[in-house]
Amino acid sequence: MMLTNVVVTYTIDPKAKEEHIRLIEGVFAQLSKDNPNNIDYQVMCLEDGVSFVHMSSAETPNGSNPIPQLSAFKDFAQNISKRVTTMPKSISGTLIGSYHNKA
């Protein structure tokens, strides 16, 4: 198994924020329903209200990231150029540490 870590950053048009968040929530709804055990995914909207950061870690046999294959993520990605003011920039990274209190 290979672990893949990706960070994606971009900014959106403030007028598109409501729809954008709705589409992100759709991705989390699908993840909650499908309940994959090999994905850690987080999305943050920064203090300015228009900058977003997506962080994902996935452990797969070939090192691929399964997030883009989700139907809800495909819905999110469709027409993204109409919602963003800077196109998403994807950067791979190496995880140094992580803490998740599941209690």
**Domains of the chain, first to last:** 2-92 (3.30.70.100)
Q: Which whole-number Å values give the CA distances from 38 to 12, 51, 96, in the listed order? A: 29, 27, 18
Whether 95 contacts 5, CB under 8 Å: yes
Average pLDDT of the chain is: 95
* Residue % of the chain over a pLDDT of 90: 86
pLDDT (mean) for 24-43: 96
Write down the pLDDT at residue 103.
63
